[in-house]
């Protein structure tokens, strides 16, 4: 099988590229999947346009990058527990992903990536913002980096899974994961360091007083909101965004009520986050 001529067009200096010349409904060669994975590692979030894929094709594409995560509480289409429904309409008061986050970072092994396919979008609005967590880490001063590097933070879910979006999901499992992860993690494939706290799931920095933890987390949450770390994606029907949860955060802008925005996401399982020593960093670079 010859690999199609896949084109990668960087759309922003800090993160994000659009990929064309590939039809994700097809069974792609290992070479093409390798190129897509490399584009994801290089650009952190990649976008595809005009992809008419059904649920099975979406799952098949996701599985080329790892096992699929099944969310304990989010709604999914009948018979497809690995798909997570993203939906908003005139009855929505809030939408999933409205705050900055890395998907289910509360899990012991948070996902490596997520692939969202939207089939219905408002004519304007409903964009998604993505932020580069390598750049967020690199923008910190040397003493701050040094201070954060040995710390862990608690990521919880109970406060999120109480929300309406999660309440009535069919087959919901009563799980409320809570785990400690390093505040700065080493990306297992690139060896680069990334800030790994987010305002949705991260509740406390371990070992600090409540006041210290609150102030530091607020500082870091504010720090990642710098527009210079971000790209903003405008959806069209049948666009796909594929992001790396290990080195990005994202936020769904809810500015289009009462219009409909709809699609599904697969989430690819990842590893337990770790912080590596200088030695491992040097080897990886």
Q: Catalytic amino acids?
A: 101, 103, 250, 265
Asked whether position 73 contacts ligand SIN by CB under 6 A, the answer is: no
At 25, list the tokens: 């409904």
Closest to ligand SIN by CB, 24 vs 86, is 86
* Smallest separation (angstroms) from ligand SIN to the CB of 11: 17
Could you give the C-alpha distances from 105 to 36, 168, 229, 283, in angstroms and in order?
A: 24, 22, 20, 27
Asked whether position 116 contacts ligand SIN by CB under 6 A, the answer is: yes
Closest to ligand SIN by CB, 151 vs 200, is 200
Closest to ligand SIN by CB, 19 vs 74, is 74
* Smallest separation (angstroms) from ligand SIN to the CB of 245: 10
d(CA 118, CA 18): 16
* Smallest separation (angstroms) from ligand SIN to the CB of 86: 5
Asked whether position 121 contacts ligand SIN by CB under 6 A, the answer is: no
Closest to ligand SIN by CB, 97 vs 113, is 97
d(CA 23, CA 167): 36
Closest alpha carbon to 65 in 264, 275, 284, 266: 266
Size of the site for ligand SIN (CB under 6 A): 9
What does the angle CA 110 – CA 160 – CA 275 come to, to the nearest 5 degrees?
Answer: 30
When binding is defined by CB under 6 A, the residue of 252, 264, 266, 268 that contacts ligand SIN is 252
Give yes or no for a contact between 28 and 22, defined as CB atoms under 8 angstroms apart: yes
At 185, list the tokens: 């993690």
* Smallest separation (angstroms) from ligand SIN to the CB of 96: 5
For the chain, how many residues are written?
A: 285
d(CA 86, CA 118): 8
Closest to ligand SIN by CB, 100 vs 137, is 100
* Smallest separation (angstroms) from ligand SIN to the CB of 207: 30
| Residue nearest to ligand SIN according to CB distances in the complex | 97
Asked whether position 97 contacts ligand SIN by CB under 6 A, the answer is: yes
Asked whether position 86 contacts ligand SIN by CB under 6 A, the answer is: yes
d(CA 218, CA 132): 18
Give yes or no for a contact between 95 and 165, defined as CB atoms under 8 angstroms apart: yes
Asked whether position 74 contacts ligand SIN by CB under 6 A, the answer is: no
Could you give the C-alpha distances from 211 to 204, 216, 218, in angstroms and in order?
A: 10, 9, 11
* Smallest separation (angstroms) from ligand SIN to the CB of 163: 13
Asked whether position 128 contacts ligand SIN by CB under 6 A, the answer is: yes
Asked whether position 157 contacts ligand SIN by CB under 6 A, the answer is: no
Beta-sheet pairing, 17-20 with 45-48: parallel
- Residues near ligand SIN (CB under 6 A) are 86, 96-97, 114, 116, 128, 250, 252, 265
């Amino acid at each position: 099988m010859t690999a199609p001529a896949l084109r990668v067009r960087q759309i922003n200096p800090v993160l994000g590229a659009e990929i064309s010349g590939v039809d994700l409904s097809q069974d792609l060669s290992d070479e093409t999947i390798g190129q897509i994975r490399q584009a994801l590692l290089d650009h952190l979030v990649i976008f595809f346009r005009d992809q008419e894929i059904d649920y099975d094709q979406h799952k098949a594409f996701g599985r080329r990058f790892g096992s699929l995560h099944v969310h304990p509480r989010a709604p999914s289409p009948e018979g497809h527990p690995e798909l997570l429904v993203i939906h908003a309409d005139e009855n929505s008061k809030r939408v999933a992903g409205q705050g900055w986050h890395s998907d289910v970072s509360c899990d012991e092994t948070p996902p490596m990536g997520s692939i969202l396919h939207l089939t219905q979008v408002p004519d304007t609005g409903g964009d998604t913002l993505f932020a580069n967590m390598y750049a967020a880490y690199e923008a910190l001063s040397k003493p701050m980096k040094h201070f954060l590097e040995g710390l862990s933070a608690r990521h919880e879910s109970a406060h999120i899974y109480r929300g309406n979006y999660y309440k009535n999901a069919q087959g919901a499992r009563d799980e409320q994961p809570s785990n400690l992860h390093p505040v700065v993690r080493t990306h297992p494939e690139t060896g680069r360091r990334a800030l790994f706290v987010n305002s949705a799931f991260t509740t406390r920095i371990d070992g600090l007083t409540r006041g210290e933890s609150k102030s530091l987390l607020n500082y870091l949450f504010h720090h990642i909101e710098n527009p210079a770390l971000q790209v903003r994606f405008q959806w069209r029907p049948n666009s796909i965004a594929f992001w790396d949860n290990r080195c990005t955060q994202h936020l769904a802008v809810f500015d289009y009520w009462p219009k409909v925005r709809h699609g599904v996401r697969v989430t690819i399982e990842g590893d337990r986050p770790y912080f590596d020593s200088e030695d491992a960093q040097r080897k990886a670079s």
